[in-house]
Amino acid sequence: MMRTVTGWVTGVFAGLSRNLQLVSLSLFFWGFGEGLFYDFVPLHLRDMGADAVQTGYVIALSSFGLAITMLPAGITADRYGPHISLLISWPLGIFAMAIIAFTNTLAWFTLGWFLFGCSGFVIPPLTRYIMDGRGELTPQRALTLVFSAFSAGFMISPTIGGWMAQTFGLRSAFYLGLVLVVASTVVIVFTRPLPHTPTEINRGYLSLMHNRRFMGFMLLVFFGMFSLQLGVPLASRYLQETWQVSLAHIGILGSVLAFGEFALGFALGGLPPRRVFAVLQAAGIVYALVLLNTGSLPLLAIAFFLRAGVGISRRFVDAISMRVVAVQQHGLAFGLSATVTFAAGMLAPAAAGWLYAINPGWPLRASILLLPVAAVLTYLLAPRPVDGLPAPAPHPRLIG
């Protein structure tokens, strides 16, 4: 059985170039490390003295760091190539993780968490890097395939992190997370730049801002991602305080979430991205309903599997965006798309913290009210293939 699974995984990733295989391995290590502690951050903040509102603000700072860096990173990727960003982002992640792991104060943890978010500026350049090296793979298949390696690493580690937190204390999960981030950085150093034609930053390039189809879609993305994420930031705290779910079981749910990202990424990667994005928003309704009504571990596992739609939605957003954006503007488009996504991710935790302070169930109820509207609007109004540019042509297979 193990040989069969290993052979299947090897066959799937054999379709990637050497560079994208290394990126996938690096993302696997990063996902493994981040999964050890990510779901326990609200609980760690509570132990450091933060109330629900403060917790929401601290978590929002990570998305703020992401939001303010996405657009410059996308423009830089178009102008100078995406590879240099990879070599800056990963070491910044090590520095941020060192602060997070070793600090004893809320102020320093907040700084480390903000810098950890800033290290994610690599998302638009990394997306461009994957697009440039995807060979004959479709855009959505290439993105889901490479980023699924992150989900694969995230799949096991929350369970391990939950056991470590229960046995040795929460901080032990952060220490091991730092080690895995270092391993991820070592791997990324061995990737190579891909052929790149610099884009001139001129009026024609910036005309994307006047692309009504794209900018209108960004409004849909903001509303949809805000609605999806309202019930996410304080979920672990909600489960422990409302349903008395243990740290070990919260870790298991984190592993189920990562498995959902991995499995759904593969299963949905070849389907029309507009429909998938709408369906993932609908799945968020089920997630919120389950958390409101039960603390049963099997039902919570189903809910967290469906919550995977939050993590993989961005890949389909980028695939939709490529329908109405010229190839020379892809870095800028990915930067704008990520900025919008993480701006929603910045406001959602802050709003969730305020709502949670009033009533722990309110963030979930608000999500249930907003998501049906978001799903219908996405299905009806998101760009279709006939709305703009033809699908991007396959790139020649690149060696290296």
| CATH pick for 18-191+207-387 out of 3.40.50.300, 1.10.357.140, 1.20.1250.20, 3.40.640.10 | 1.20.1250.20
Residue 126 and residue 150 in contact, taking contact as beta carbons nearer than 8 Å? no
Residue 391 to residues 133, 139, 169, 397: CA-CA distances in angstroms? Answer: 16, 9, 50, 18
Residue 300 and residue 290 in contact, taking contact as beta carbons nearer than 8 Å? yes
Which whole number is the average pLDDT over 236-262? 92
- The distance of Cα 265 from the centroid of its chain, to the nearest Å, equals 12
| Highest-scoring range by mean pLDDT, 15-29, 67-81, 220-234, 267-281 | 220-234
- The distance of Cα 84 from the centroid of its chain, to the nearest Å, equals 21
How many other C-beta atoms can be found within 10 angstroms of the C-beta atom of residue 293? 12
- Rounded Cα gap, residues 181 and 5, in angstroms: 26
Which whole number is the average pLDDT over 71-100? 91
- Rounded Cα gap, residues 196 and 315, in angstroms: 22
* pLDDT band with cut points at 50, 70 and 90 for residue 192: very high
pLDDT at 387: 56
In degrees and rounded to multiples of 5, residue 26 shows phi and psi of -60, -45
Query: How crowded is the C-beta side of 49, counted as CA atoms within 13 Å?
Result: 6
Q: Which residue has the higher pLDDT, 196 or 260?
A: 260
User: Which region among 14-18, 21-25, 276-280 has the lowest average model confidence (pLDDT)?
Assistant: 14-18
Which whole number is the average pLDDT over 103-126? 93
Q: Which residue has the higher pLDDT, 224 or 7?
A: 224
pLDDT at 384: 85
Structure confidence by residue, pLDDT tens digits, 308-337: 999 888 878 888 888 888 877 877 888 888
Instruction: Give every CB contact of residue 274 below 8 A, 6+ residues apart in sequence.
Output: 316, 320, 378, 379, 382, 383, 384
Full-model pTM: 0.80
pLDDT at 13: 58
Closest CA to 141 of 324, 290, 279, 273: 273
| Highest-scoring range by mean pLDDT, 4-13, 142-151, 208-217, 351-360 | 351-360
Residue 2 to residues 31, 136, 155, 266, 362: CA-CA distances in angstroms? Answer: 22, 29, 17, 19, 44
Closest CA to 115 of 90, 136, 140, 145: 90
Give the rounded percent of residues in the chain with a pLDDT score beyond 70. Answer: 91
Residue 117 and residue 64 in contact, taking contact as beta carbons nearer than 8 Å? yes
Residue 56 and residue 234 in contact, taking contact as beta carbons nearer than 8 Å? yes
Residue 155 has pLDDT above 60, yes or no: yes
Structure confidence by residue, pLDDT tens digits, 201-215: 666 767 788 888 999
Residue 179 and residue 37 in contact, taking contact as beta carbons nearer than 8 Å? no
* pLDDT band with cut points at 50, 70 and 90 for residue 5: very low
Residue 388 to residues 291, 314, 323, 391: CA-CA distances in angstroms? Answer: 40, 20, 6, 9
User: C-alpha dihedral over 258, 259, 262, 267, to 10 degrees?
Assistant: -140
Which whole number is the average pLDDT over 348-374? 96
Mean pLDDT over each residue of the chain, to the nearest integer: 87
User: C-alpha dihedral over 179, 185, 186, 189, to 10 degrees?
Assistant: 180
